[in-house]
Amino acid sequence: MIHSIKVGISLVLVSLLYLLDPLYEQVGENAMWAIMTVVVIFEFSAGATLGKGLNRGMGTIVGGGLGCIIAILAQKLGGVGSNYYILIAGISIFIFGAIATYFRMIASIKKRYEYGVMILILTFNLVLMSVVREEQQVWEIACDRLLTIVIGFIISISVSCFFFPLWSSDQFHHSTLSTFQQLAYAIQGCLEDYMKFANEKENEAAATTNFTFCKSLMNSKSKDELLVNYAKWEPWHGKFGFSYPWQNYLKIGDLNRDLAAIILALRSCLQASKKPMKLQSWSETIQLTEPYCEEIGSNIVWTLKELGESMKQMRKIHASQFSTKLKASRAEIISMVVMMNIFTFNKISSTTLSILNNNNCD
């Protein structure tokens, strides 16, 4: 909603370039390029806008420069309009377009600079066209267009960064924090399920919500990468510096996803164990395992909440320390899975075998 209003304001500001006579006299028809810049680069977060804007700027400068060089070269060799000129232009467009497209497809460039390369190809072609058809100086065209693009860029960035800014870095930081909380809840949910299960209450509706979070977390990698990409473009603001270690956030995200996968597996194991469970009264088993499971479980929950809290307050913890703790949590959960199975099946393994043979274990 705020974003929509911001776009509206930017559009009106840039439209003044052609609506008001004194401004139009300065920029002329090139006002079009300013409008285009605002519409195309204005994205939801400040980082995305800045990234696209800088890409557009760089693409225009490099593409325009290369276009000018080829145009001047062709002019010297043949003169504008001659067949020779057309031949050179055609060949250079082909070679240049193919090479630039090839670079555009390389994963690392595609991630951060795809838009810039696209603008580069476009500008190169438009400059060549302008030179062929308008009898103006090459540099003049290039400079006029660049000026209006800069105007559009400044309008977009000002509105995006200074008027209720929406930072990707804040968004990513908070989503990472809440992940720790949610994972802790999910583990608690598993423990509660296991205990409830003992008392044969089967209403686990409250717990399933947390598993939905785990499932959605599994598919969050590409979203995280996008946010980091934007966050990297964002200038210093609040608590995040220029060289803030976003890469470590990605590593934490990977470990959290691992943890979520194991929690989901734990849940599956619990569900699969339910049916055979009913065959036997097993309150003694639970009594035996309860203290161990509870100890491990609450230990993990505590670790996760502690990690989330220290990230929130931005205490300095060495990255390796962080990942060690998370890996330890993972190992503990796995041992919990294993242990639940031991005690559950210890007494009923013979029964289970026949069930598995009949293939009706869920």
The rounded distance, in Å, linking the Cα atoms of 216 and 127 is 47
Which residue, 54 or 339, is less far from a copy of itself as judged by CB? 339
Q: Which two tokens stand for residue 277?
A: 């469970």
CB of 197 to a copy of itself, least distance (A): 15
CB of 236 to a copy of itself, least distance (A): 27
CB of 242 to a copy of itself, least distance (A): 28
What are the φ/ψ torsions at residue 26 (nearest 5 degrees)? -75, -50
CB of 348 to a copy of itself, least distance (A): 9
DSSP state string for 222-249:
HHHHHHHHHHHHSPSBTTB-TT--HHHH
List C-alpha distances in Å: 149 to 34, 157, 233, 288. Answer: 5, 12, 19, 72
The rounded distance, in Å, linking the Cα atoms of 221 and 293 is 31
Q: Which two tokens stand for residue 76?
A: 């010297």
Which residue, 167 or 240, is less far from a copy of itself as judged by CB? 167
Give yes or no for a contact between 336 and 290, defined as CB atoms under 8 angstroms apart.
no
**DSSP-assigned letter for residue 311:** H
What's the number of CA atoms in the CB half-sphere (13 Å) around residue 239?
8
CB of 10 to a copy of itself, least distance (A): 8
Which residue, 143 or 331, is less far from a copy of itself as judged by CB? 331
Q: Which class for 46: exposed (0-12), middle (13-18), buried (19 or more C-beta within 10 A)?
A: buried
Closest CA to 195 of 321, 289, 62: 289
Give yes or no for a contact between 228 and 250, defined as CB atoms under 8 angstroms apart.
yes
The rounded distance, in Å, linking the Cα atoms of 6 and 275 is 57
The rounded distance, in Å, linking the Cα atoms of 166 and 186 is 30
Which residue, 202 or 225, is less far from a copy of itself as judged by CB? 225
CB of 235 to a copy of itself, least distance (A): 24
CB of 29 to a copy of itself, least distance (A): 7
CB of 251 to a copy of itself, least distance (A): 14
Which residue, 6 or 232, is less far from a copy of itself as judged by CB? 6
Cβ partners under 8 Å of residue 11, min gap 6 = 35, 38, 39
Which residue, 279 or 338, is less far from a copy of itself as judged by CB? 338
CB of 158 to a copy of itself, least distance (A): 16
CB of 164 to a copy of itself, least distance (A): 14
* Widest CA span in the chain: 96
Which residue, 129 or 312, is less far from a copy of itself as judged by CB? 129
Give yes or no for a contact between 227 and 159, defined as CB atoms under 8 angstroms apart.
no
Which residue, 101 or 280, is less far from a copy of itself as judged by CB? 101
Which residue, 274 or 312, is less far from a copy of itself as judged by CB? 274
Give strand pairing partners of 237.
240
The rounded distance, in Å, linking the Cα atoms of 130 and 137 is 10
Which residue, 85 or 246, is less far from a copy of itself as judged by CB? 85
The rounded distance, in Å, linking the Cα atoms of 42 and 61 is 20
